[in-house]
Amino acid sequence: MTAVQDTKVIISIKNLNKEYVSSDGKVVRALQNINLDIHEGEFVSLIGPSGCGKSTLLRLIADLIPPTNGQLTINGHSAHEARENREYGFVFQSATLYDWRTVLKNVQLPLEVMRYSRKERDKRAHEMLKLVELSDFADHYPWQLSGGMQQRVSIARALAFEPNLLLMDEPFGALDEMTRERLNNELLEIWGKIPSMTVIFVTHNISEAVYLSSRVVVMSPRPGRISQVVNIDLPRPRGPETLDSDQYFHLISQVRHLLREVHD
């Protein structure tokens, strides 16, 4: 089951494999024969039990680790080139803010590395903080923020240099349900504003995956594989009425059944 889309393919993955070799020589097959195309403007969630290779797949796309073999292209070139060109922003499960930088300076970090002018850095960082509604906390240090606020800063940081691709590895996994719901809506709003922005979102929360995504990729463990891809045709923009719709419940139970199969 693949989505038929007429937009251009941003990420193309063909027969991708990843094996980890631990220090004692043991080989872990983390991903086996992954095939997936992701189109421009899509919101794709990767869901599956822990250890099924979701993070591995995201890290391969980000070129943070090398594949064992297979093909992976981003915007038509290699993942390595995509990283060198700063084509994606990455959001980790832990906000990974630098303790010694204020909120504003944390958002400016990528802009400093990418040699933006001071003026541009200030302008963009303030814009981004406004986007995540943290303007009042620009001068705070990370330890002075709650977990949810920290994660919003890290999203602002990932978006500061306007990448067209956002890679998120369980960004809201450590947050409480209320905060998660708020951040989900904030994320959808940001994504909705930039039609060309593609998001790949790792989660193990079924309702979150369904609520956010245009497609949910269900993965199975040992070795990590894609077992199903579910199209989520819930109307957009999504909001409170989405959460009450029958279609939403139906899709959640569909994904839940797929995951249950995968767990056995």
Ligand X SMILES: Nc1ncnc2c1ncn2[C@@H]1O[C@H](COP(=O)(O)OP(=O)(O)O)[C@@H](O)[C@H]1O
Residue 20 binds which one of Mg ion, ligand X, another protein, none, with CB within 5 to 8 A depending on kind?
A: ligand X
- In the bound complex, what is the minimum distance in angstroms from residue 54's beta carbon to Mg ion? 5
Compare residues 142 and 148 and give the one whose CB is closer to another protein: 142
Contact status: 101 vs another protein (CB under 8 A)? yes
Give the chain's radius of gyration (CA, Å): 18
Compare residues 28 and 138 and give the one whose CB is closer to ligand X: 28
DSSP E strand stretches across 22-124: 27-39, 43-47, 69-74, 77-78, 88-91
Compare residues 38 and 165 and give the one whose CB is closer to another protein: 165
Contact status: 204 vs another protein (CB under 8 A)? no
> How far is Cα 258 from Cα 248, in angstroms, rounded to an integer?
16
Q: Mask: binding to Mg ion, 144-183, rule CB under 5 A, as x and -?
A: ----------------------------------------
CA 234 vs CA 41, 108, 162: distances in Å: 16, 36, 27
Give the 3-state secondary structure percentages of the chain, helix then strand then coil, rounded to 5: 40, 25, 35
Token digits for 145? 């923020």
Contact status: 112 vs another protein (CB under 8 A)? yes
Token digits for 33? 């024969």
Contact status: 173 vs another protein (CB under 8 A)? no
- In the bound complex, what is the minimum distance in angstroms from residue 164's beta carbon to another protein? 15
Contact status: 17 vs another protein (CB under 8 A)? no
Contact status: 109 vs another protein (CB under 8 A)? yes
Can you tell me which residue has the tokens 């990974």?
96
